[in-house]
């Protein structure tokens, strides 16, 4: 499952205003302004932890806590493997992320963002990093009900870029009070320092894609249940050290992923 890859973002609108006085001696008080920020807590379960086409764990608990204020978002996503942890992968993983959405017009916006990946129990003696940092920039362009999101990221520790294109669209199911949210993603990456303290350095590069659909349901005013189903796969994923022959990344596989999440806004 592409890790940073989804997620629920809800923003409260800032409404300011005052009603005219109803009495010259006792004016009616102005209504309280709506909060200009919100918190979203999203406990979630995933049947597989897939990241850019590589399987990092089996069933996992993946909670998120996000703070939203206008165009800003800042959050923490975590992964706790419950079963079938891939040897060497971190347990747990904590990712701090942030973004700012700059709206150009009704169809176009620019989103600079970052993700700070943290692996507190990573085995450094086996070449795993304790942390990496990845700034990104993406465009959101909507045409005929389809949102296209090209994205460029560069990992400052792994020393390499990721290029990704995502398309999303929603099909209303009015009678059921919900919709079908479709997602398609294709991406490629090339990191030149994929293993810590290796000399000569290890490259890791590959491709990946994902097709998925999700069904959100508003359970309460502040609570939304979402069930998702996706298939994602990594391909042409190799490691290469110096002039030695390349070898295939055994973790780059194809897997179906079921996700269940419940977003609570407060």
For residue 98, the Cα-to-chain-centroid distance in whole angstroms is: 10
pLDDT, tens digit (0-9, with 9 covering 90-100), for 68-127:
999 999 999 999 999 888 777 778 999 999 999 999 999 999 999 999 999 999 988 889
The answer to whether residue 3 is domain-embedded is no
The answer to whether residue 18 is domain-embedded is no
Q: Give the count of domains, the chain.
A: 1
Mean pLDDT lowest among 25-29, 126-130, 231-235: 25-29
The answer to whether residue 220 is domain-embedded is yes
pLDDT > 70 in the chain, percent: 87
Tokens read off for 132: 């990496």
Nearest Cα to 62, choosing from 150, 126, 2? 2
Domain span including residue 116? 37-265
- 10: number of Cβ within 10 Å: 14
| CA–CA separation, 55 and 101 (whole Å) | 30
| CA–CA separation, 67 and 42 (whole Å) | 12
- pLDDT, position 90: 72
Task: Evaluate whether 226 touches 9 at the Cβ level (below 8 Å).
Answer: no
- pLDDT, position 86: 79
Task: Evaluate whether 183 touches 214 at the Cβ level (below 8 Å).
Answer: yes
- pLDDT, position 46: 98
| CATH number of domain containing 181 | 2.40.160.40
The residue behind tokens 């090209």 is: 150
- pLDDT, position 18: 35
- pLDDT, position 87: 78
The answer to whether residue 21 is domain-embedded is no
The answer to whether residue 17 is domain-embedded is no
- pLDDT, position 230: 98
Tokens read off for 230: 């996706």
- pLDDT, position 32: 55
The answer to whether residue 7 is domain-embedded is no
pLDDT, tens digit (0-9, with 9 covering 90-100), for 14-71:
333 333 333 344 455 555 555 689 999 999 999 999 999 999 999 999 999 999 999 9
pLDDT of 167 > 50? The answer is yes
- pLDDT, position 31: 55
pLDDT, tens digit (0-9, with 9 covering 90-100), for 188-213:
999 999 999 999 999 999 999 999 99
The answer to whether residue 30 is domain-embedded is no
Cis peptide before 200 (omega within 30 of 0): yes
Interacting residues of 194 by C-beta distance below 8 A, sequence separation 6+: 158, 160, 201, 202, 203, 204, 239
Task: Evaluate whether 190 touches 164 at the Cβ level (below 8 Å).
Answer: no
3-state secondary structure of 126: helix
The answer to whether residue 134 is domain-embedded is yes
């Amino acid at each position: 499952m592409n890790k940073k890859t989804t997620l629920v973002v809800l923003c409260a609108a800032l409404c300011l205003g005052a009603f005219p006085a109803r009495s010259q001696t006792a004016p009616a008080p102005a209504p309280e302004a709506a909060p200009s920020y919100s918190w979203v807590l999203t406990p979630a379960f995933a049947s597989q932890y897939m990241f850019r086409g590589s399987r990092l764990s089996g069933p996992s608990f993946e909670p998120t806590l996000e703070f939203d204020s206008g165009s800003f978002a800042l959050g923490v996503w975590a992964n706790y493997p419950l079963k079938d942890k891939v040897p060497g992968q971190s347990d747990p993983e904590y990712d701090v992320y942030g973004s700012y959405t700059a709206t150009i017009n009704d169809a176009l916006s620019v989103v600079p963002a970052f993700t700070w990946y943290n692996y507190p129990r990573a085995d450094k003696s086996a070449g795993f990093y304790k942390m990496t940092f990845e700034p990104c920039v993406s465009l959101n362009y909507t045409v005929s009900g389809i949102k296209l999101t090209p994205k460029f990221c560069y990992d400052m520790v792994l020393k390499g870029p990721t290029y990704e294109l995502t398309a999303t669209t929603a099909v209303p199911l009015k009678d059921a009070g919900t919709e079908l949210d479709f997602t398609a993603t294709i991406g490629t990456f090339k990191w030149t320092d994929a293993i810590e303290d290796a000399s000569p350095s290890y490259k890791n590069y590959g491709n990946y894609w994902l097709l998925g659909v999700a069904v959100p349901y508003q359970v309460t005013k502040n609570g939304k249940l979402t069930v998702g189903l996706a298939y994602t796969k990594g391909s042409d994923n190799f490691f290469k050290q110096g002039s030695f022959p390349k070898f295939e990344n055994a973790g780059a596989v194809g897997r179906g992923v079921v996700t269940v999440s419940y977003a609570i806004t407060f």
